[in-house]
Structure 1
Amino acid sequence: MPREFASRLGTVESELKALWLQAQAGDETAYRDVLGRIARLLRAYLRRRMAGCLDDVEDLVQECLLALHLQRGSYDSTQPLSAWVYAISRHKLIDFWRRNRRYGALNDPIDDVDELLLAGEANEATSHMDLARLLGELPDAQRRAIELTKLEGLSVAEAAARIGMSEGAIRVQVHRGLKRLSLLVKVVI
C-alpha cells in the first residue's frame, strides 16, 4: 500500500504538471481543469494550517489562485509544479497571518512561521513515506476515504461519487480511519 500511495502522489504531480504546461500553451480547458484541481489541493493544505480561521480558507484559496495566475510566467517547467504552487501559497498564508494578527494566541507567532515551514519542508519526504506507511495499515475503504477527503481535498459528496459510497459511509470511514491513525501514531511515538 505505501508504494501505491507514493506512486499516486507522483501521478497527481505529473497530471497537474502536464495540464499546467498545456494551459501555458493556451489550452483554456486545461487551464480551468488544473486550477480546479489546484484549488482542491490548496483547500486541504490551508484547512490544515488555518484551524482557527476556517471561515477565511476560501478567500485565501482565491488569493493563491490569483497569485498563481499573475505569476504563471515564473514557473520553471524543470521543477515540480507542486513545489511552485505551495511556495506561493505559503507566502500568501504568511501574508494572511500578518494581516490578521487578531488571531494571535490561536496561532503560532508570525516570527515562528518561517522556521516551522522550513522545518516542515526538510521533513516533507520523510513525512510522505511515514504517512504512506501508516495509511497502508488501514483497511482499503478507510484509506481511500481519507486520501480523497483529507489529502486530495475533495468534498464528502465528491468522494462518495468517485468511489460509489454514500456520503454517510464516507464520513464514517474517515472518522474510523482517523481514529485508527491516531492510535497507530501513538504506538509509533
Structure 2
Amino acid sequence: MQGRDEEWTALMRSANAGDSAAYHRLLKAVTPVLRAAARRGLARSGQPIDQSEDIVQDILLAVHLKKHTWDDGAPFAPWLFAIARNKLIDALRRRGRRVFVNIDDFAETIPSAPAAETLPTTEIAGHLESLPARQRDVLQSIAVDSASIKSTAAKLAISEGAVRVALHRGLARLAGKLRTE
C-alpha cells in the first residue's frame, strides 16, 4: 500500500500540474481498487453489488471536480478513500438503507436534558476557583456556560484536543476533591 500511495500521490501532483497522461494513468490505477471497495461496501450493507459501477463513476467524477482541493503535500490515498466512503454512503442513502454512523462523532451536537444542579452556584464557583486557570476556564465555558468544545477552543485560542484534556483533568480533580469532602 505504501508504494502504491506514493505512486498515486506523484501521479496526482503531475496531473494537477497539467500532465493529462499522468491523470489518465492515475484514474486507470485507482479504478479497480475503487470498484473492489464499492463492491465490499455494498455487500457489507446487504445490497446487491451490481450498482458498484455507478458508485465508482460517482467517485471518479467527484475526484475530477474536486482535484483542485487536494493538498499536494498530503498523501493522495486518504483523500481518495474519504471521497469513496462518502459516495458509498450517499448511494446507500438513496436506496433507503440505514447507514451506521458512530454516535460519538456527534456527541457534542445531540441535545440532552439539562442536568439538575446539585450544588449551590456559590459553592460551584468556589470549587472552580481552586482549579488551575486553564481547567477553570474550560470547565466554566463547557459545564457552566454550556458552550461546545469547538466554541470553547476558539474562545480560549487553544486546540479542541487541549480543551478535552483540560476538561477531563479538571473534572477528575473536582471529583477527587468532592470525594474527600
Sort the TM-score into its range (normalised by shorter chain): 0.5 to 0.7
Matched residue, 1:50: 42
Corresponding residue for 2:117?
A: none
Identity of aligned residues (%): 38
After TM superposition, list the pairs within 5 Å mapping 1:15-34 onto structure 2. Answer: 15-34=7-26
Q: Which residue of 2 aligns with 1:92?
A: 87
Q: Count matched residues.
A: 101
Q: Measure the CA separation in 1 of the matches of 2:3 and 2:87.
A: 26
Following TM superposition, the consecutive aligned residue runs of length 4 or more in structure 1 with deviations greater than 4 angstroms are: none
Tell me the TM-score normalised to structure 2 length: 0.53
Structure 1 residues without counterparts, runs of 5 or longer: 1-8, 119-189
- 1:47: Cα distance to partner? 1.1
Q: For residue 115 of structure 1, report the CA deviation from its aligned partner.
A: 2.4
Tell me, in whole angstroms, the C-alpha distance in 1 between the residues paired with 2:55 and 2:39: 10
Instruction: Give 1:78 deviation, angstroms.
Output: 2.0
2:8 counterpart SS class: helix
Q: Secondary structure at the match of 2:57?
A: helix
Q: Deviations over 1:149-183 (max 9, x none)?
A: xxxxxxxxxxxxxxxxxxxxxxxxxxxxxxxxxxx
* Structure with bigger RCO (C-alpha 8 Å, 6+ apart): 1
- TM-score of the pair, normalised by structure 1: 0.51
* Between structures 1 and 2, the one with greater helix share: 1
Q: 2:77 matched to 1:82?
A: yes
SS in structure 1 of the partner of residue 48 of structure 2? helix
Structure 2, unpaired ranges of 5+ = 106-181
State the alpha-carbon separation in 1 of the partners of residues 3 and 71 from structure 2. Answer: 19
3-state SS in 1 of match to 2:73: coil
1:67-97 CA distance string (max 9 Å, x none): 0000001101222111000111111111111
**Matching residue's letter, 1:78:** G
Name the counterpart of 1:59: 54
Kindly report which structure 2 residues correspond to 1:3-152, keeping only aligned pairs within 5 A, or say none: 9-51=1-43, 52-101=47-96, 104=97, 109-110=98-99, 112=100, 114-115=101-102
